[in-house]
Amino acid sequence: MSASRTTLAGRLARMGFADAARAGGLLLDAGLGGPAAGLDTGPETGPADGLDGDAVVAALAEAADPDLALAGLARVLGAAKDPGALRAALRDEPDFRRRLTAVLGVSAGLADHLTRHPGDVGVLRGTVSRPEPQTLTGEMLAAVQGTANQAAALAAAYRRRLLHLAARDVTGAATIDEVGEELADVAAAVLEAALAVARAELPTAAPPCRLAIVAMGKCGARELNYASDVDVIFVAEPDPSSPRAAEETAALATASRLAAGVIGVCARSTPEGGIFPVDPNLRPEGRAGPLVRTLASHRAYYERWAKTWEFQALLKARPVAGDLGLGTAYADALRPMVWQAARREHFVADVQAMRRRVEASLPARQAGRELKLGPGGLRDIEFAVQLLQLVHGRTDETLRAPATLPALAALAVGGYVGRADAAELAAAYRFLRRTEHLLQLHRVSRTHTLPEDPAVLRRLGRAIRISDEPNEPSLPPPVTRADPAAEFAELMSRHARQARRLHEKLFYRPLLEAVARLPTEAARLTPDAARARLEALGYADPAGALRHIDALTSGVSRRAAIQRTLLPVLLGWFADAAEPDAGLLAFRQVSEALGQTPWYLRLLRDQTKAAERMAHVLASSRYATGLLLRAPEAVAMFGDDAELVPRGLAALRSEMMAAAQRYWDDAEAAVTAVRSVRRRELLRTATADVLEAADLKATGQALTAITRATLEAALAAAERKVGGELRQPLPTRFAVIAMGRLGGHECSYASDADVLFVHDPLPGQPEKLASDAAHAVAAELRRLLALPVSDPALRVDADLRPEGRQGPLVRTLAAYRAYYRRWSAPWEAQALLRAEPAAGAAGLGTQFTAMIDEFRYPKGGISSAAVREIRRIKARVEAERVPRGADRARHVKLGPGGLSDVEWAVQLLQLRHAHALPGLRTTRTGTAMAAAVQGGLLSAEQAAALAAAWQLAARIRNAVMLVRGRPGDTLPARHGELTAVARLLGYPPGDAAQALEQDYRRCARRARAVMEPLFYG
């Protein structure tokens, strides 16, 4: 034939063998294949039985891993008593051929077994059908009869059953659900036989007892894996038929020996390999508890002490071996308790904690490789289903199925989960289970991690397609064999995508159905069930929450439609933040204000990130929420990272000036426009702070820039207005000097604008006219910024001026100089340290600050009398200014080690040393501290202690404002509020509140220890 030049290796490679050269050798050695139609097999050609050989080779090539299958078959043939008969059977029985090659193509472990027991290939011949559980039990019991090594015999019988099942599994004759059931049945039969072995090993004098083995977990739910622990619980009672029935202790001792025996038999390592680990640790008290208990003792434990997760475990309890009457009594006694679990006091907290535990593992892990524990993995799906069962199973008995897939189906039928969602999740779950099964079959070993080896992925891809389940809707038709590994990866990621949005689908989306008004065919969540679920998810007012959900999703508008899609996700995000209820309410308010705006709906629909940010901000910060609700269109900024960066002074100035300019003839309208820009910028800054925990300095600078730009724009409007009323250009130059935190670029959310006003009459202008005009400008500026409009007011505080509130609001440069020369008190010099031009006539502000330098940086430092006076004032402030009844140590502004301790200490250094150390001539606390270290006035350690306390105190003040929407200078008194503040500052949950308090008090104590000698001398 013309193909005679084709080499065997080449042909095999085309058939799918990866190592064709080795495969060729193996075929020859095993007496398989041979010179099929024109194959050039070289000189050592075997019997020319081409066609038959070809059928076996073809079957091997069909296997998931042809090389593995061939290697396995070669070993089996090598071990077989009559290889010729086996070859003949392979040749003559297509079904047998297909089963054997398919099994060997996925499992080296079962090939090992067949090598030890070549005769076991027999179980794959003829009609192969699902065995009855009794058959299995009989088989296992028979296996341990009359043999020396009972454990080995049992292990061999167990593996024979795995072989039988695996063959049907990988050839598509058994569905994944059936496989799980049968594995559980096999495990039950093994347990029964192991119990028989243990019983035979008892001393004859042992007092008799009844012992039931109750399977839990996957075995209990009949959804077992090929290789996994079998979770069990042992229940024992004295044997009533025995004369020694009264001796409970003695009977329990016997039962303990039996239980330990069962575990031992299954764990023993034998030449046949082990069986499976029997894990009794789900029992009451776990490892610390007794191995066996009486029924009454079990019941008492669950009545009194069991935790929520233990009830969750009981969901799957099923008697499988030993005294089935006792086992059934156990199940009947405990089952009702499972459904009372949701009434237990800590249920909600427990569920929250369990949910957090599951979700906590989501982002960090690498998706995809961990089939069991990874995000959207098996454990995740099972856990979510069980939680819903516990929440709703109390009132709805149809939900009480032990296994995951039936339970998921029941949840869908009852309307607790959407039908399509349930179907998709079930498909994902089946896929993951199949993959897990195939991985475990390979060596018959426990593994849940997907290797990265492309050869393994190829095997999986081929195997999954071979046994493709007909009822799996989401799988594509097997079109090509081009790249099974890639195909598998594609399937994997598709299912992972489905499973990853699991909580949204299972927990939240059905809540919307509860309030849907349109009649639907399918069942849906009842309002009661919806309330129960909201409560379990952390909403404090479920009835209110349902009303909001209703309002947000009802109707046929486009908005309602989009919100129906979005809300399930949002509800989850709200639940993760400090105040879910507040978040939901605020969302409703925003939505009602903006619902008709097309860009808003687009934003929500298309930008997950924007929606997530909005949810987080709404449910954690009342301050930001308040600002947002004043003009909801600002949500636009959530959609763009660049929008969340606070703007610089120059940009703010030009936007605010432009806004003011638009209303050049109407000062009130102009400043209203300016203030609305200010409100938007405050929201931007607060949002960045909430979302990113922005650094203190950046926040301070952003807030300072906002205030200064606002002052500038408002001043321009005020000057224009006063000039207009005078019908002449302003007869004086006017400037605003920033003081306090504004001057120091350290504004907090709650800061007023501390300022001084200075003016300088133009040459030739009457002094009175100039002064009146300047006063009018200052008064107008303050009035405009305090006008009651919808945006927050900016209080302009000029109380630091000479003579305080008694003094004139504005003075000339000369008057200031004269005053400071003649009267200046030490505290005024101290206040001037932070003076900096903020707005108004170019040059005038600089003239002012140049003028005051001689007072704030006096030659030789301030006098010792002045030092004494400043210390005295500080001491009095410490004693008097903390509100009565407040805990001084918790006062972050005036308490020991608080803001004012640090600032006064630094300012005193400036007053004494700035004349000699130019670096100290700054309005900023941090810069001054650094200069003091440079100048040798402070050690680096001292500065670090001061800076740590000062920064933490300022961050706490900002966080208090963000959380509460009201300013506060102390650590919040309410534990819940303190927790929210601590969480906003990045403390992990648990004891966030006390950890923050501990940190602050430590910093403050250290700062005070530095400040006392430094300041008081």
**Residue ranges in contact with other proteins by CB under 8 A:** 284-285, 288-289, 300-301, 304-305, 345-346, 885, 887, 889, 973-975, 979, 990-991, 993-994, 997-998, 1001-1002, 1005-1006, 1009
In the bound complex, what is the minimum distance in angstroms from residue 747's beta carbon to other proteins? 28
In the bound complex, what is the minimum distance in angstroms from residue 348's beta carbon to other proteins? 13
Q: Which is nearer to other proteins, 775 or 888 (CB)?
A: 888
Nearest 5°: phi and psi at 208? Answer: -70, 155
Q: Which is nearer to other proteins, 786 or 973 (CB)?
A: 973
At what angle are helices 992-1011 and 940-964 packed, to 10 degrees?
A: 140
What pairs with residue 758 in β-bridges?
Answer: 735, 811
Q: Sort 149 into a burial class: Cβ within 10 Å, 0-12 / 13-18 / 19+.
A: middle
Q: Which is nearer to other proteins, 116 or 1002 (CB)?
A: 1002
Taking only Cα atoms into account, the Rg of the chain, rounded to an integer number of angstroms, comes to 40
In the bound complex, what is the minimum distance in angstroms from residue 656's beta carbon to other proteins? 41
CA end-to-end span of the chain = 110
Q: Which is nearer to other proteins, 344 or 400 (CB)?
A: 344
In the bound complex, what is the minimum distance in angstroms from residue 318's beta carbon to other proteins? 24
In the bound complex, what is the minimum distance in angstroms from residue 349's beta carbon to other proteins? 8
Q: Which is nearer to other proteins, 355 or 680 (CB)?
A: 355
Tokens of 113: 């077994």
Half-sphere exposure of 33 (CA within 13 A, CB side): 28
In the bound complex, what is the minimum distance in angstroms from residue 984's beta carbon to other proteins? 17
Q: Which is nearer to other proteins, 356 or 817 (CB)?
A: 356
Q: Which is nearer to other proteins, 122 or 989 (CB)?
A: 989
Q: 829, 734 in Cβ contact below 8 A?
A: no
Q: Which is nearer to other proteins, 234 or 857 (CB)?
A: 234
In the bound complex, what is the minimum distance in angstroms from residue 563's beta carbon to other proteins? 34
Q: What is the residue type of 2?
A: S
Q: 566, 606 in Cβ contact below 8 A?
A: no
In the bound complex, what is the minimum distance in angstroms from residue 866's beta carbon to other proteins? 30
Contacts of 460 (CB under 8 A, 6+ apart): 64, 435, 438, 439, 484, 488
Angstrom distances, CA of residue 899 to CA of 786, 921, 955, 1005: 28, 20, 11, 12
Q: Which is nearer to other proteins, 584 or 992 (CB)?
A: 992
Tokens of 336: 């009702």
In the bound complex, what is the minimum distance in angstroms from residue 974's beta carbon to other proteins? 7
Q: Which is nearer to other proteins, 301 or 827 (CB)?
A: 301
Q: What 3-state DSSP class applies to 747?
A: coil
Q: Which is nearer to other proteins, 725 or 887 (CB)?
A: 887
Q: Which is nearer to other proteins, 224 or 313 (CB)?
A: 313
Q: How many other C-beta atoms can be found within 10 angstroms of the C-beta atom of residue 669?
A: 16
In the bound complex, what is the minimum distance in angstroms from residue 1004's beta carbon to other proteins? 9
In the bound complex, what is the minimum distance in angstroms from residue 953's beta carbon to other proteins? 15
In the bound complex, what is the minimum distance in angstroms from residue 363's beta carbon to other proteins? 25
What pairs with residue 237 in β-bridges?
Answer: 210
In the bound complex, what is the minimum distance in angstroms from residue 778's beta carbon to other proteins? 42
DSSP secondary structure letters along 398-422: GG--SSHHHHHHHHHHTTSS-HHHH
Q: Which is nearer to other proteins, 76 or 236 (CB)?
A: 236
In the bound complex, what is the minimum distance in angstroms from residue 885's beta carbon to other proteins? 7
Which is nearest to 571 in space by CA: 523, 634, 632, 514? 514
- Listed in sequence order, the DSSP H helices in 201-247 are 217-220
Q: Which is nearer to other proteins, 357 or 975 (CB)?
A: 975
d(CA 341, CA 202): 39
In the bound complex, what is the minimum distance in angstroms from residue 112's beta carbon to other proteins? 42
In the bound complex, what is the minimum distance in angstroms from residue 905's beta carbon to other proteins? 18
Tokens of 343: 């009434």
Which is nearest to 307 in space by CA: 373, 361, 357, 353? 353
Q: Which is nearer to other proteins, 280 or 418 (CB)?
A: 280
Angstrom distances, CA of residue 307 to CA of 98, 303, 318: 50, 10, 20
Q: 448, 461 in Cβ contact below 8 A?
A: no
In the bound complex, what is the minimum distance in angstroms from residue 301's beta carbon to other proteins? 7
Give me the residue label for tokens 């029985």.
93
In the bound complex, what is the minimum distance in angstroms from residue 906's beta carbon to other proteins? 22
- Would you give the distance in Å from CA 434 to the centre of its chain? 27
Q: What is the residue type of 613?
A: R
Q: 110, 76 in Cβ contact below 8 A?
A: no
Long-range contact pairs involving 649-653 (C-beta distance under 8 Å, separation at least 24): 649/705, 649/708, 649/709, 652/677, 652/681, 652/705, 652/706, 652/709, 653/708, 653/709, 653/712, 653/713
What pairs with residue 797 in β-bridges?
Answer: 754
Tokens of 114: 């067949």
Q: Which is nearer to other proteins, 130 or 1001 (CB)?
A: 1001
Half-sphere exposure of 985 (CA within 13 A, CB side): 27
Q: 712, 653 in Cβ contact below 8 A?
A: yes
d(CA 135, CA 879): 88
Tokens of 55: 């059928």
Q: How many other C-beta atoms can be found within 10 angstroms of the C-beta atom of residue 236?
A: 28
Which is nearest to 751 in space by CA: 733, 735, 737, 738? 738
Q: Which is nearer to other proteins, 332 or 941 (CB)?
A: 941
Q: Which is nearer to other proteins, 598 or 885 (CB)?
A: 885
Q: 719, 781 in Cβ contact below 8 A?
A: no
What pairs with residue 970 in β-bridges?
Answer: 891
Tokens of 451: 């290797």
